[in-house]
Amino acid sequence: MNKPTILTGDRTTGPLHIGHYAGSLANRLQYQETHEQFLLLADSQALTDNAHNPEKVRNSVIEIALDYLAAGIDPSLSSICLQSHLPALTELSMLYLNFVTVARLERNPTIKEEIRVRGFGRDIPAGFLCYPAAQAADITAFKATVVPVGEDQAPLIEQTNEIVRRINATAGGRILPEAQAIIPKAGRLPGIDGKAKMSKSGGNAIALSASSDEIRRAVRAMFTDPNLLRVEDPGSIEGNVVFTYLDAFDQDQDGLAELKAHYQRGGLGDGKIKARLEAILQELIAPIRTRRAQLAEDRGYVLDVIRAGTDRARERTEATKRDVVSALGLFQL
Amino acid sequence: MNKPTILTGDRTTGPLHIGHYAGSLANRLQYQETHEQFLLLADSQALTDNAHNPEKVRNSVIEIALDYLAAGIDPSLSSICLQSHLPALTELSMLYLNFVTVARLERNPTIKEEIRVRGFGRDIPAGFLCYPAAQAADITAFKATVVPVGEDQAPLIEQTNEIVRRINATAGGRILPEAQAIIPKAGRLPGIDGKAKMSKSGGNAIALSASSDEIRRAVRAMFTDPNLLRVEDPGSIEGNVVFTYLDAFDQDQDGLAELKAHYQRGGLGDGKIKARLEAILQELIAPIRTRRAQLAEDRGYVLDVIRAGTDRARERTEATKRDVVSALGLFQL
């Protein structure tokens, strides 16, 4: 009657925003009831492209743990654990790097795209090129069979499974399970300016800890239909960020369908649709913000949660490492 | 009054041969009196190009430890330690990979040459490309300031020091010392067939555990001067393996100089010079072979030596890891 294991988590490069909520955090609240869930605070992975800014990576550890707890992650159901404190992950990473070629890493579409976006060119840090092997270590060390990922990250799971098959073939048995990617229905939320990626550094995000004023200002500034000049004109919902967000957060989907029809026919101004979205976001974020502020007062509790989750994770990942070492017939003292 | 620390060791891919003795082991017998010496049984590094043959890597661990002890390494002076059992090394390796670019690793002359020799091309295992960063982790984790290497390996020490400088710059202090390469006077011994590399797999090596018969046969088969057809002809000592070995092992260098002169002038056949070399090698290897056979009977003792050395190494390497993590300001639970 074991529940299937999910591994998920976030790079610790800044607090979470409502894009994270829609894309992953909301689902995790469900999964923690049905799955054994590990939430990895991926500080080591964050260093692969932030090695010269370790302070940002360090400070984000507590920020994200606060976001998790404030959003409703229950540490008695989910284990919040810290990647850098799980040495089995680096041991398996280094081992897996021997089972994947440089050419294969360079062909990985996720890596190719991220190299392009970050402008690395040939000066890509080796750790960044290697992170698919590190991610394979993360996933397999937990023996996770379910990994929720964005659509653009699916090739990483395929690469993980290639490594799994090689390890199993060398060991002559099914030591590690293959993992299945779950791609959430809600795609990635755009920024409030309509750009594809919502990010704190891009200044186009609404933080999960946003104040009431910040939410109001962000919704007012939100990109809609630039061709809608008068209320009576028909408006477009394609690329209209307000509707994209309403799709993600509005529970009343019938009401939303009517609203869309009205907007498209004309006679409904941006003020109305923004008011609706703002009310929804204020209602979503207010309790998270309150709880987050309370938790932030008790850093000791948050550290205890991370310590306990990391202890559970350490037990699991060390056991897997021992399994792999033993199955491959490596030397054991 | 701390002695300087030396890190040295061997990839566990087969028992050692007399080339290892001349090139490194003989020096280590000296260093253990004057330095704090760690001898790394590099089983993790051995996997970077032997991942699909873990059995060879495993079996060589004890073989090399036996070679060390039989040759005179004193475990009360030197620490024999097992790389795969020192997790701080993989943690530092993964960290250092963020401080070196893929392009820089590919430019490393040692890596370029080894890729060529192994015929990897684009199918180089990622772990192999990354091994200079892993070696930097090995060296710095011990805070070794002296690293004896072959001439062809000197670029690896330069790469280590580049990483050291980046870590220190990011940390804002001299956390890690730079290391100095010591290149032994005796260059690399050729194989008995005259090929540049003596190796067990090449069938042109004399093992440190060679039997008396094996030594005799190897010396008889040794490549000399192919143009020396009659004893009275002048012979060449250039590329003459017997003389190369005599240079490495003959303690009587005056006698050797006379022998060379005689050989070059003519009247000295290969039989004579081979007899001299064989006597020297028999005398060198006989006590090593005897002691090795005794030690091989007591596997428990050898394991205890490795365990004790690995415990000392673990203490040292974990302390360094903590220093680095703390100096970089990474999160600590």
- A130 touches A104 (CB < 8 A): no
Pick the range with the lowest mean pLDDT from B116-120, B156-160, B172-176, B303-307: B116-120
B228 contact A CB<8A: no
Per-residue pLDDT of A160-204, as tens digits, reads 999 999 999 999 999 999 999 999 877 789 999 998 888 888 889
Residue B17 to residues A231, A326, B21, B286: CA-CA distances in angstroms? 88, 29, 7, 14
Which of A52, A101, A129 shows the shortest C-beta gap to B125? A101
Q: In this predicted structure, what is the pLDDT of residue B153?
A: 87
Q: Between B202 and A223, name the one with better pLDDT.
A: A223
> A297 in helix, strand or coil?
coil
How far from the centroid of its chain's Cα atoms is residue A191's Cα? 16
**Cβ pair A292, A209 in contact under 8 A:** yes
Q: Do B94 and A122 touch (CB under 8 A)?
A: no
Q: What is the pLDDT of residues A80-105, one digit of tens each?
A: 999 999 999 999 999 999 999 999 99
For chain A, give the percent of residues with pLDDT over 90. Answer: 85
Query: Which residue of A98, A100, A112, A314 is the best one to mutate when testing the B interface, meaning the one whose CB has the most B CBs within 10 A?
Result: A98
How far is it, in rounded angstroms, from Cα A37 to Cα B38?
42
Q: How confident is residue A153, by pLDDT bands cut at 50, 70 and 90?
A: confident
Predicted confidence (pLDDT) per residue in B149-198, tens digit:
988 889 999 999 999 999 999 999 999 999 999 998 777 899 999 988 88
Asked if pLDDT for residue B292 goes beyond 80, the answer is yes
User: Average model confidence (pLDDT) for chain B?
Assistant: 94
Q: Judge: A126–B105 Cβ closer than 8 Å, yes or no.
A: yes
Residue B1 predicted with pLDDT over 70: no
Residue A196 contacts B where some CB pair is shorter than 8 Å? no
Stretch 64-93 of chain A: residues touching chain B, C-beta under 8 Å: 82, 84-85, 87-88, 90-91, 93
Q: Do A126 and B130 touch (CB under 8 A)?
A: yes
Rounded-to-integer distance, Cα A245 and Cα A190, Å: 9
Q: Architecture of domain B212-294 in CATH?
A: Orthogonal Bundle (1.10)
What are A226-245's pLDDT values in tens digits?
Answer: 998 898 999 999 999 999 99
Asked if B228 contacts B270 with a C-beta cutoff of 8 angstroms, the reply is: yes
Q: In which band, very low, low, confident or very high, does the pLDDT at B132 lie, cut at 50, 70 and 90?
A: very high
pLDDT value of position B104: 93
Q: Is B137 on the interface with A (CB under 8 A)?
A: no
Residues in chain A within 8 Å Cβ distance of B43: 330-331
Q: What is the pLDDT of residues B4-42, one digit of tens each?
A: 999 999 999 999 999 999 999 999 999 999 999 999 999
Is any Cβ of chain B less than 8 angstroms from the Cβ of A306? yes
Q: Beta partners for B41?
A: B10, B82
Q: How many CB pairs under 8 A join A and B?
A: 157
Distance between CA atoms of residues A333 and A321, nearest Å: 14
CA-based nearest residue in chain A for residue B331: A58
Q: What pLDDT is attached to residue B219? A: 97
Per the prediction, chain A carries an average pLDDT of: 94
Residue pair B71/B25 in contact by the 8 Å Cβ criterion: yes
Q: Which sequence spans correspond to the domains of chain B?
A: 5-187+299-328, 212-294
The helix, strand and coil proportions of chain B, stated in percent and rounded to the nearest 5, come to 60, 10, 30
Nearest to B48 among A98, A306, A307 (CB): A98
A58 part of contact set with chain B, CB < 8 Å: yes
CATH of domain A5-187+299-328: 3.40.50.620
B54–A123 CB contact, under 8 Å? no
Closest Cα partner for B212 from B114, B129, B286?
B286
**What does DSSP assign to residue A269?**
-
- What is the chain A residue with the closest CA to B103? A122
Of B97, B170, B88, B136, the closest CA to residue A128 belongs to: B97
Inter-chain residue contact A333 with B55, CB threshold 8 Å: no
Q: Which of A44, A85, A122 faces B103 most closely, judged by CB atoms?
A: A122
The reply to whether A286 touches chain B by the CB within 8 Å rule is no
Q: Which of A87, A100, A103 sits opposite B91 (nearest CB)?
A: A87
Give the residue from A48, A83, A94 with the most B CB atoms within 10 Å of its CB, the best one to mutate: A94
Between CA B296 and CA A282 the distance in angstroms is 74
Q: Which residues of B touch A326 (CB under 8 A)?
A: none
- CB-based contacts of A274: which residues, under 8 Å, 6+ apart? A219, A220, A222, A224, A242
> Which residues are within 8 A (CB) of A186 and not within 5 positions of it... i.e. 6 or more apart?
A22, A23, A247, A248
Nearest Cβ partner for B122 among A91, A97, A103: A103
Please give the residue that has the higher pLDDT: either B245 or B201. B245
Q: What is the per-residue DSSP string for A180-238?
A: EEE--SS-PPPPTTS-S---TTTT---BTT--HHHHHHHHHT----TT--STTS----T
Strand partners, B79: B38
* Residue among B178, B177, B179, B170 nearest B326 (CA): B170
In chain B, what residues touch A48 (CB-CB under 8 Å)?
97-98
pLDDT over 90 percentage in chain B: 85
Q: What is the pLDDT of residues A112-151, one digit of tens each?
A: 888 888 787 778 999 999 999 999 999 999 999 999 998 8
A312 touches chain B (CB under 8 A): no
On chain A, the residues whose CB falls within 8 A of the CB of B307 are: 333
> For residues A45 and A155, what is the distance between their CA atoms, to the nearest angstrom?
17
Banded model confidence at residue A254, pLDDT cuts 50, 70, 90? very high
Residues of B in contact with A308 (CB under 8 A): none
Q: Choose from B66, B97, B304, B325 for mutation: most chain A CBs within 10 A.
A: B97
Q: Which of A299, A288, A297 is nearest to A62 (CA)?
A: A299
Which run of H or of E encompasses A38? strand A36-42
Residues B55 and A331: beta-carbon distance below 8 Å: no
pLDDT band at A1 (very low <50, low <70, confident <90, very high): low
Q: Mean pLDDT, to the nearest integer, of B315-323? A: 98
